[in-house]
Amino acid sequence: MIKINIQNEYSPLKTVILGIAEDPGPQPLEKDVYDPGSLFHIQNNSYPIEKDLLNEVDKFHGKLVKHDVDVIRPQNISDCNQIFARDLGFVISNMFFMSNIVPNREEEIEGIQSIITKFDAGVIKLPDFMHIEGGDVIIHNDKIFIGTYSDKDYSSLITARTNNESIKYLKKLINEFEIIPIEIKKSNTNIYENTLHLDCCFQAISKNNAIICPDGFKNIDDVNLIMRIFGKENIFIASLQEYSELTSNVLVVSPDVIISHSKFNRLNKWLKDKGILVEEVDYTNVSKMSGLFRCSTLPLNRE
């Protein structure tokens, strides 16, 4: 059996599903992509190839193993991009919630079915009318931040992944937590106006510290709320350019160890100055598909 238990984003990571880069299939057509980052690189002939993706994900895997994390991999599905495991589900306390993801990603769920059957606790399949993906769910002990988009054009935006119906449902189901909706920007085409998931503009990296990219939020009130919860002096505030590079999308292995992109010089210095060991990995090619380290992982158990 696989023990599942997640109370926050930063307690020592024990067990995680890490996505795979094998056999992702041909480069998608422009009409089939579901994020502006991929669209940009397809249009500019810079979309990543399998060999480069494999190399980067393998290096990430090595860092996890180095710190004694039990790494589980999905079953390979032919011609399917399975790198971004985060969105397939999420664990809150000892409950696993199966996500309702965008239709052209449903095949990815098959790759973790055999893993899910081994969980030591129940699996909750959310109703079909509820849209939610794991990248929009950030757990901070008694608080759960959920990225959402509530404008009327929700249905026309392939980048809108979590709706208000899912938040209302979770509030009833797990009422022992304070659930905080956070409105994030959405665009099908502009990387500077799109926050694919909440973890692309915000992440709690310890009980007191966070990374935030204000340009990714729709409402300044939500930015100010996070500032009050963590304290401005405890927050790394990313620029618009750093936001477009997904600077908040690191993976916390433990309070003392964080895996980050080797190009994030300013963030990495800020972390090191706090006494954190920063394990740097070049994730340039994976990032071209609008995801980084948190996107690639689905934590199942933290100490």
Contact 168, 129 (CB under 8 A): no
Contact 184, 149 (CB under 8 A): yes
Cα–Cα nearest to 25, from 80, 75, 74: 80
pLDDT at position 131 is: 85
The pLDDT tens digits along the chain (303 residues) read 999 999 999 999 999 999 999 999 889 898 888 788 889 999 999 999 999 999 999 999 999 999 999 999 999 999 999 999 998 999 999 999 998 877 778 889 999 999 999 999 889 988 888 888 899 999 999 999 999 988 787 776 777 788 888 889 899 989 899 999 999 999 888 889 989 899 999 999 999 999 999 999 999 999 999 999 999 999 999 999 999 999 999 999 999 999 999 999 999 999 999 999 999 999 999 999 999 999 999 999 999
pLDDT at position 189 is: 83
> What's the CA gap between 140 and 10, in Å, rounded?
9
pLDDT at position 80 is: 92
Give the Å distances, CA to CA, from 32 to 48, 127, 179, 191, 205: 16, 25, 33, 17, 34
Contact 175, 115 (CB under 8 A): no
Q: In this structure, is residue 135 part of a structural domain? A: yes
Q: Whole-prediction pTM value?
A: 0.95
**Phi and psi for 37 in degrees, rounded to 5?**
-65, -50
Contact 80, 108 (CB under 8 A): yes
Contact 100, 131 (CB under 8 A): yes
> What's the CA gap between 303 and 285, in Å, rounded?
31
Q: In this structure, is residue 8 part of a structural domain? A: no
Q: In this structure, is residue 198 part of a structural domain? A: yes
Q: In this structure, is residue 231 part of a structural domain? A: yes
Single-letter amino acid code for the residue at 118: K
Contact 255, 206 (CB under 8 A): yes
> Number of structural domains, the chain?
1
Q: In this structure, is residue 167 part of a structural domain? A: yes
> What's the CA gap between 168 and 148, in Å, rounded?
12
Q: In this structure, is residue 118 part of a structural domain? A: yes
> What's the CA gap between 252 and 279, in Å, rounded?
10
Q: In this structure, is residue 3 part of a structural domain? A: no
> Which CATH number fits the domain that encloses residue 278?
3.75.10.10
Pair of tokens at residue 287: 């990032």
Domain of 160? 13-302
> What's the CA gap between 161 and 186, in Å, rounded?
10
Q: How far is CA 217 from the centre of its chain?
A: 16
Q: In this structure, is residue 6 part of a structural domain? A: no
pLDDT at position 130 is: 82
